[in-house]
């Protein structure tokens, strides 16, 4: 097969090259895991800082660990446009979730410079550090800080090794005393654009490279503790046990059933720790996580109440204790129609039908919508796979996404 001419999909190839460079920073040599404030997050943040500086952006790592690059443009006092996403990952992650939106922002600014376009307003690129909330019980903390909604209780959150966020932030080189300085004035920002893989199968099913996000589903998350009684696996009769894991198993099935009852709702128990965790000991305690989502907040709250009642009834019947501690209530968030209209124009200019799709996944855009008008562009990913090392996109689709972003940014900063 003849090699692709050097210029074909040049923007897409540049984005993939930056992504590949960042994918080497992992806390686990065997798989991509880059949790908030970890050494790998620090290394990836510094690499992102270097990419932003090389693209001509005045850049820094902010007190909460996000990387912020700024191009002043012709009129530094005008409201700025922000392009961003996150560079933290889940455990055993794919390399595109989050990081794609950051590198495409850099590619867009590089393209403006190559085309000799000096934006009429400032452009900021932000690589958020705590979107996955996979390490501490937080909620989009590094993005909410921009709209002054950082919840100081997050600083006392503890990871599974018992390390407190406040201490991890200090070890990272951050500064909890400067959180207020991260907050931005709404009047200084005209919009936030995030490009992200779809993490679902719709674009592939419609054979489309990109689509425009209409709204982002709401999310409830909680930490659940089930306490029974340890005992000898060989001697305690079955009808005299208070088996925390057997009770948990019944609760998880109840959660699954309720989570599937309403249109568009989902529920997941993603993590569980069993104590003492020995083959011949009846489990005394289980701590598990609940993640429940819906496009409708009233429905989501009703669903979580139903799950809680069902679990309490199981706990009572099995004589175990049940404690549910919510730690996230993220609202369903509509995207900005004005920015969506500009994205429509860019897609039409590229002869791509501008489809709308709801996001089942949460994004920094939910938090940024509290600061300024916000919109997202989804990029097709193979079989909708994400939060999985098999996550993948094509160079051609990365190229389309780059061209749409550059066109939309050019329209907005003309
Ligand atoms: O969980 C989510 O929806 C996102 O990937 N953090
Ligand atoms: Mn993401
Ligand atoms: Mn994710």
Q: Tell me the CA–centroid distance for residue 329 and ligand 2, in Å.
A: 17
Q: Which atom of ligand 1 is nearest to the CA of 133?
A: 6
Q: Find the residues whose C-beta lies inside 6 A of ligand 1.
A: 131-132, 361-362
Same domain, 95 and 240: no
| pLDDT at residue 9, as a whole number | 96
Same domain, 269 and 306: yes
| pLDDT at residue 271, as a whole number | 95
CA pair distance 98, 371, nearest whole angstrom: 20
DSSP-assigned states of every residue in 211-254: EEEEEE-EEEEEEEEEE---EETTTS-GGG---HHHHHHHHHHH
Last residue of a domain, one of 330, 356, 374: 330
CATH number of the domain residue 165 falls in: 3.40.630.10
Enumerate residue ranges in the chain where pLDDT < 70.
Answer: 1-6
Q: Flag whether 2 is in a domain.
A: no
| pLDDT at residue 148, as a whole number | 95
Ligand nearest to the CA of 134: 1
Same domain, 254 and 191: no
**274 CB burial (10 A radius; 0-12, 13-18, 19+):** middle
Q: What's the whole-model pTM score?
A: 0.90
DSSP bridge partners of 288: 224, 272
Structure tokens of 272? 């569980």
Same domain, 211 and 261: no
Q: Flag whether 3 is in a domain.
A: no
Q: Tell me the CA–centroid distance for residue 187 and ligand 1, in Å.
A: 29
| pLDDT at residue 229, as a whole number | 98
Last residue of a domain, one of 330, 363, 395: 330
Same domain, 202 and 224: no
Same domain, 46 and 150: yes
Q: Flag whether 1 is in a domain.
A: no
Same domain, 176 and 248: no
Q: Flag whether 146 is in a domain.
A: yes
Q: Which of 34, 362, 376 to mutate to test the pocket of ligand 1 (most atoms within 8 A of CB)?
A: 362
Q: What is the domain extent for residue 49?
A: 10-216+332-413
- The total domain count for the chain is 2
| pLDDT at residue 6, as a whole number | 58
Same domain, 283 and 392: no
Q: Which of 36, 140, 363 to mutate to test the pocket of ligand 1 (most atoms within 8 A of CB)?
A: 363
| pLDDT at residue 3, as a whole number | 55
Q: Flag whether 4 is in a domain.
A: no
Q: Flag whether 5 is in a domain.
A: no
| pLDDT at residue 137, as a whole number | 92
Q: Flag whether 404 is in a domain.
A: yes
Q: Are 128 and 66 in contact (CB under 8 A)?
A: yes
Query: Which residue's CA is minimally distant from atom 6 of ligand 1?
Result: 132
Q: Flag whether 70 is in a domain.
A: yes
Q: Are 179 and 150 in contact (CB under 8 A)?
A: yes
Same domain, 31 and 155: yes
Same domain, 197 and 307: no
Q: Which of 129, 131, 295 to mutate to test the pocket of ligand 1 (most atoms within 8 A of CB)?
A: 131
Same domain, 175 and 191: yes
Last residue of a domain, one of 330, 356, 388: 330
CATH number of the domain residue 255 falls in: 3.30.70.360
Same domain, 68 and 209: yes
CA pair distance 295, 276, nearest whole angstrom: 38
């Amino acid at each position: 097969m003849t090699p692709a001419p050097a210029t074909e999909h040049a923007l897409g190839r540049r984005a993939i090259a930056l992504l590949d460079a960042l994918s080497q920073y992992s806390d686990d040599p065997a798989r991509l895991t880059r949790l908030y404030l970890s050494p790998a997050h620090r290394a990836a943040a510094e690499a992102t800082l270097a990419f932003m500086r090389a693209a001509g952006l005045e850049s820094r790592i902010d007190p909460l660990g996000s990387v912020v690059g700024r191009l002043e443009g012709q009129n530094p006092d005008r409201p700025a446009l922000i392009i961003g996403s996150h560079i933290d990952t889940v455990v055993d992650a794919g390399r595109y979730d989050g990081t794609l939106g950051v590198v495409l922002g850099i590619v867009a600014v590089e393209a403006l410079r190559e085309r000799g376009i000096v934006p009429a307003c400032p452009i900021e690129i932000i690589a958020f550090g705590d979107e996955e909330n996979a390490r501490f019980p937080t909620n989009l903390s590094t993005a909410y800080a921009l709209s002054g909604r950082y919840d100081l209780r997050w600083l006392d959150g503890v990871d599974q090794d018992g390390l407190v966020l406040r201490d991890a932030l200090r070890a990272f080189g951050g500064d909890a005393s400067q959180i207020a300085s991260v907050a931005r004035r709404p009047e200084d920002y005209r919009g936030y654009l995030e490009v992200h893989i779809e993490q679902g199968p719709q674009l592939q099913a419609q054979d489309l490279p990109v689509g425009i996000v209409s709204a982002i589903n709401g999310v409830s998350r909680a930490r659940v503790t089930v306490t029974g009684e340890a005992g000898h696996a060989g001697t305690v009769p079955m009808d005299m046990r208070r088996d925390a894991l057997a009770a948990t198993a019944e609760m998880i099935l109840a959660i699954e059933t309720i989570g599937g009852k309403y249109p568009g709702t989902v529920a997941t128990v993603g993590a569980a720790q069993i104590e003492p965790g020995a083959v011949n000991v009846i489990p005394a305690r289980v701590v598990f996580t609940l993640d429940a989502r819906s496009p409708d907040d009233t429905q989501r709250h009703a669903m979580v109440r139903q799950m809680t009642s069902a679990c309490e009834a199981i706990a009572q019947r099995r004589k175990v204790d049940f404690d549910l501690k919510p730690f996230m209530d993220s609202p369903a968030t509509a995207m900005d129609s004005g920015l969506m209209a500009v994205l429509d124009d860019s897609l039409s200019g590229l002869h791509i039908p501008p489809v709308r799709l709801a996001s089942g996944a949460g994004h920094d855009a939910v938090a940024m919508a509290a600061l300024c008008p916000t919109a997202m562009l989804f990029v097709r990913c193979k079989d909708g796979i994400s939060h999985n090392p098999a996550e993948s996109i094509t160079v051609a689709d990365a190229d389309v996404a780059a061209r749409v972003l550059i066109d939309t940014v050019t329209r907005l900063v003309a």
